[in-house]
A = this chain, B = another copy of it.
């Protein structure tokens, strides 16, 4: 199961997830000023970061919004990046946060688990309920794919609905209970399920509550670094079983900014991943 491969990476290489939320302004000038297409500039940037980090991170998360914003050229780079990660036997998480009725969810499953945009894991938004999630499950079962469902997101606005009280529980706990029920059939040898949850690393109290309540869940944790999440706080959610991957995007892929911008720019990303890994692991001892 894909979750076992991911967990093996977490243990062997650490829980860092490198967020390839690439924007043109992040790309060093020597690439940006070349005569290459936008597709190739983005891909060259991503490839360099992947090559410099694949032995020290667990997986890569691509925020598709950054690629959609650049239109067809952006999505060509997105596709090429996913294929490159696969060619290196790396693990990709497509951060697409899709949600739709069953017939459209089937199309999204095809879009992101097959063909041009094939990835290992995708993120999904639960607001539309169970039948908006079930179409993805045949891929989890038969095609070695995985899902992270939004539970408690890292942003300030996550309190607007996710923290509303339903039967004396917060809405996100209700969502977490549904995720648990969906995930129970897809548990791998690691003891974790290929259906996990997105929980932002920015909410100190919520992370402790969530870990107490959902101690066997595997988490995709955004919010470290640029968004304000600290390793100490996030360690409460990971726990001794290191039940998750911690994403950082800007902190890693813009690490070269203000420094040397030459062909070795991605070495700064590598250093940042190693620092971040150390910062997290020291709280888990």
Residues of A within 8 A of B (CB): 21, 23, 63, 65-66, 68-72, 75-76, 79, 95, 97-102, 104-105, 107-108, 110-112, 115-117, 125-133, 150, 153-162, 164-167, 171, 174-175, 178, 222, 227
Contacts and interface: CB of A to CB of B under 8 A. Distances in A.
A158 B132 CA distance: 9
A70 B108 CA distance: 10
A158 B100 CA distance: 10
A177 to B, nearest CB: 11
Contact of A108 (B69, B99, B132): B69
Contacts of A125: 97, 99, 125, 127-128
The 9 closest A-B pairs by CB, nearest first: A129-B157, A71-B116, A129-B160, A68-B111, A131-B157, A65-B107, A69-B107, A65-B104, A127-B127
Nearest to A112: B68
A131 B100 CA distance: 21
A100 B178 CA distance: 21
Contacts of A21: 104
A155 B127 contact: no
A102 to B, nearest CB: 7
Contact of A157 (B132, B155, B164): B132
A128 B155 contact: yes
Contacts of A71: 79, 111, 115-117
Nearest to A132: B157
